Amino acid sequence: MDLRLALYQWVGLHGLNAAQQARLEELAGLGAEPPALARRMRQGLAVLAAGLGGFGLILWLAANWGSLGRFGRFGLLEALLLLLGIAACSLGRRRAALAPALGLMVLLLQGGLFAYFGQTYQTGADPWQLFALWALLALPLALGLRSDVLWTPWALVAMTAVSLWAANRLGHAWHFAPGAWQVYLLSWGFSFALLLALAAPLRPWTGAGVWSWRLALSLAVFNLGFTGLLSLFSQQLSPIYLLALGLLGLGAWLLSRPHGFEVYGLSLLTLALNVLLVCGLGRLLLQDRHGDPVGEFFILTLVAAGLLALSVKWLLGLSRRHEAPLVQGVAQ
């Protein structure tokens, strides 16, 4: 919760009038420019310029594909990669806003180089191997620059490698044939390992921020939820569905604790639990097709609405409970 909302609650709690509220906001500095606005604007513009610049270089190379030879294409990509990498490392301490932006360009050019290498030599490597190698080679860059500008796309690349690996092992068809559950469990394990690596306890060593962790959490929850739904709607119900429910419930409990409270992650996990529970009830009600479908859909709708209402009430209650110490601190 931010200071503004805490002050509004405190004003309502003590019944202050408009003049007193205005004086309180003035003392709190709410009308002034945020102290980090200029710095964040510079960082945001630098990151936007880096993303557009890296994308533009890839498009320029594609547009001049016929005029450049094989060695010319490789030389251009590698020279740009080397120059930008040296610039990012040399500016890492002196220009904190510019170095992550240059590092983002390096990461994008790494992907372009791998894509061009795979198209030129046709090594037979699976796409997941290229993404895994991309994530592995970009890891020292992210550790060196210690910025969420790099960790967020790195998490996306790493999770893409995990998804492509699972699809390759399953024959590019999502199913629950014999042995498929092992692939799903391994993909869950990789997702959880990535999530733990970007979590708060390791941030003093990694330099990762909250946005890379949230992205990794979103992709991990999608992995769990999607696999649970596949298990639920397979011909024979697999224990994977119950395991997905249990893991999502465990994650929601951990994020609801005082020391780990995170409203975004908790809302995401609660939504996934609602979807799995409603779909499970739908299979239970509709699988035999002997009852009245209108009545069964009516029951399913009521249960879904009730779960949603209870979830929102629970989340709001937790949010207010964790906001209470901040409001008390403002009051003191």
- Our measurement of the distance from residue 260's CA atom to the centroid of its chain's CA atoms, rounded to an integer in Å, reads 17
Domain's final residue, options 58, 91, 124: 124
Residue 3 belongs to some domain of the structure? no
Q: 325-329, long-range: CB within 8 Å, 24+ apart, which pairs? A: 326/1, 326/6, 327/6, 327/9, 327/10, 327/13, 329/6
pLDDT tens per residue, range 54-76: 778 777 777 776 776 777 777 77
Query: What local confidence, expressed as pLDDT, does residue 149 receive?
Result: 87
Owning domain of residue 243: 125-332
Of 200, 213, 206, 214, which is closest to residue 259 (Cα–Cα)?
A: 200
Query: What local confidence, expressed as pLDDT, does residue 267 receive?
Result: 93
Domain's final residue, options 90, 105, 124: 124
Query: What local confidence, expressed as pLDDT, does residue 7 receive?
Result: 73
pTM above 0.85, yes or no: no
Residue 230 belongs to some domain of the structure? yes
Chunked into runs of 10 residues, the chain (332 residues) has average pLDDT values of 66 75 70 67 78 78 71 77 81 67 85 77 77 91 87 93 88 71 88 90 87 93 90 79 92 87 91 93 78 80 92 88 57 48
Is residue 82 within 8 Å of 28, Cβ to Cβ?
no
Domain's final residue, options 59, 94, 124: 124
Residue 214 belongs to some domain of the structure? yes
Query: What local confidence, expressed as pLDDT, does residue 48 receive?
Result: 82
* 119 & 133 share domain: no
Query: What local confidence, expressed as pLDDT, does residue 203 receive?
Result: 87
Query: What local confidence, expressed as pLDDT, does residue 45 receive?
Result: 81
* 197 & 208 share domain: yes
- Encoded amino acid at 225, one letter: G
* 152 & 285 share domain: yes
Please tell me the total count of domains within the chain. 2
Query: What local confidence, expressed as pLDDT, does residue 219 receive?
Result: 93
Residue 22 belongs to some domain of the structure? no
Tokens found for residue 70: 């094989």
